[in-house]
Amino acid sequence: MKGHFYKPHCKCEGKKTKKCSCGAKWSYILDIGTDPKTGKRKQKKKGGFKNKTEAQEAAALLIAELSQGTHIQESHKSFEEFAYEWLAMYEATGQVKISTVRVRKHEISRLLDYFAKLKLKDITRGTYQNALVDLKNRGYAANTLDGAHRTGRMIFKKAVEMELIKKDPTEFAVVPKVQKTVEELEQEDDVPNYLEKEDLSLFLKTAKEQGLDRDYPIFMLLAYTGMRVGELCALKWKDIDFNEETVSITKTYYNPTNNTIKYQLLPPKTKTAKRKIDINHSVIKELEKLRLEQKKIRLRLRDLYHDEDFVFAKMIKYPGYPELIKVIEFRMNRILKLADLNKELTPHSLRHTHTSLLAEAGVSLLEIMERLGHKDDDTTKNVYLHITKSMKKEASHKFAQLMENL
């Protein structure tokens, strides 16, 4: 393998002095084989070495890599260019939801602030780590940092797999964490907001007496099943077995733009999210009333009705289309105000409420997880442990009272 070592930009050539005084860098040029397409020889050039010895050592390393078949010709692609190529490949696997692709695209935008026009091969471990530190310093939440790093790791891992770069700059990166004070740790509460039994009763009573159309069956079903609001919006009448009194969860509603007619139905959030839930007879009765009312509207509007079998379909504007999640959130807030309850609660809080009441009723954590469609979830565990903790204290108190009366 032929090689040549030289100083391409030396200004001392032709001068009488033997020693170079212009500070020019050394380069090498190697013949590395024949181009199979053209039949011409292929050459590899590289410069910027302080002295000839450095250039020779680098050339020797290249020759060794070529002979062992481990040489990687790093790409000149920019991070931005490859990031979107990766996103297209990621989506094309067919194993990720549209909502997840949208999240990944958003996380790429965070990384573009630092790497957009940089070549992949020029992004070092230090460069990458500094970007994570700066995201933290800009005040982004821990979840945002974790998400950006998660996407960054996938992008650079794929670049290594495709032999576009030699090293993964994310390999040893650490997501910086905000150190909480003792006071913050003492005040921290991992238990999410939910309604106590009496408050839930008041909430549903208010929904029934002062709610808008469909409010009562919507919030009753959420509270009595613990289903996600996206699962509720996607429900179709064929999912409800009125004889067996069950509801089948097989899909979820997706509409990031809140455009009523541009909704999508996607597979459940996880494999365990696909499930069948037993429901109370009182809920079945409310759903029967709703179905009867909906049939009248469908017959009256006929061709104007979007007849896709949705349970909680709009009745006035865009009749037949599934209700927007945003609308259900607004409606819940309205009822909370009327009932003078915690206005920070959301439809998802009814899921936590369902968990708390099941725990209070003595249902096991495993059974609750199955009903909610969870394989593992820290929030559900925190609610469960919070409720059962107070129950255990009550049991201890009762035992002490019993002993005192002996």
Q: What tens digit of pLDDT does each residue of 203-260 get?
A: 999 999 999 999 999 999 999 999 999 999 999 999 999 999 999 999 999 998 899 9
* Percent of the chain topping pLDDT 90: 54
pLDDT at 370: 87
Q: Is the pLDDT of residue 9 over 90?
A: no
CATH 1.10.150.130, domain 79-176, yes or no: yes
Is there a contact between 121 and 75 (Cβ–Cβ < 8 Å)? yes
C-alpha angle with apex 328: 323 to 332, nearest 5 degrees?
Answer: 160
Greater confidence (138 vs 67) lies with 138
Q: What letter represents residue 79's amino acid? A: F
Residue 234, classified by CB atoms within 10 Å of its CB into exposed (0-12), middle (13-18) or buried (19+), is buried
* Confidence grade of residue 383 (pLDDT, cut at 50, 70, 90): confident
Q: Is the pLDDT of residue 17 over 70?
A: no
Domains in the chain: boundaries: 3-68, 79-176, 197-392
Q: Is the pLDDT of residue 14 over 70?
A: no
Q: Checking DSSP bridges between strand 240-241 and strand 246-249, what pairing results, if any? A: antiparallel
Greater confidence (386 vs 263) lies with 263
pLDDT at 394: 64
**28, containing H or E segment:** strand 26-34
Angle between helix 325-339 and 197-210 (nearest 10): 110
Q: What letter represents residue 197's amino acid? A: K
pLDDT at 171: 92
Q: What is the mean pLDDT of residues 185-208?
A: 80
Q: How many CB atoms lie within 10 A of CB 110?
A: 19
Bridge partners for 266 per DSSP: 252
* Confidence grade of residue 397 (pLDDT, cut at 50, 70, 90): low
* Token pair listed for 37: 């397409």
* Confidence grade of residue 127 (pLDDT, cut at 50, 70, 90): very high
Q: What is the mean pLDDT of residues 381-394?
A: 70
Distance of CA 305 to the CA centre of its chain: 35
Greater confidence (12 vs 356) lies with 356
pLDDT at 98: 85
Closest to 54 measured CA to CA, from 21, 23, 27: 27
Q: Is the pLDDT of residue 367 over 80?
A: yes
Q: Is the pLDDT of residue 64 over 80?
A: no
Bridge partners for 278 per DSSP: 246
pLDDT digits (tens, 9 = 90+) for 69-91: 665 667 789 999 999 999 999 99
Q: Is the pLDDT of residue 32 over 50?
A: yes
pLDDT at 60: 83
Q: What is the mean pLDDT of residues 348-360?
A: 89
CB proximity list for 127: less than 8 A, separation 6 or greater: 114, 115, 118, 169
pLDDT at 185: 47
Q: What is the mean pLDDT of residues 90-97?
A: 85
SS3 at position 246: strand
Q: What is the dihedral of CA 300, 305, 308, 313, to 10 degrees?
A: -80
C-alpha to C-alpha distance for 203 and 225, rounded to whole angstroms: 16
Q: Is the pLDDT of residue 368 over 90?
A: no
Task: Using the structure block, give the residue that is written with the tokens 């995201």.
Answer: 135
Q: What is the DSSP letter of 34?
A: E
pLDDT digits (tens, 9 = 90+) for 134-175: 999 998 988 899 999 999 999 999 999 988 898 899 999 999
* Confidence grade of residue 1 (pLDDT, cut at 50, 70, 90): low
Q: Is the pLDDT of residue 380 over 80?
A: no
* Token pair listed for 194: 């939910």
* Token pair listed for 107: 């996380």
CB proximity list for 330: less than 8 A, separation 6 or greater: none
Q: What is the pTM of this model?
A: 0.67
The CATH number of the domain covering residues in 197-392: 1.10.443.10
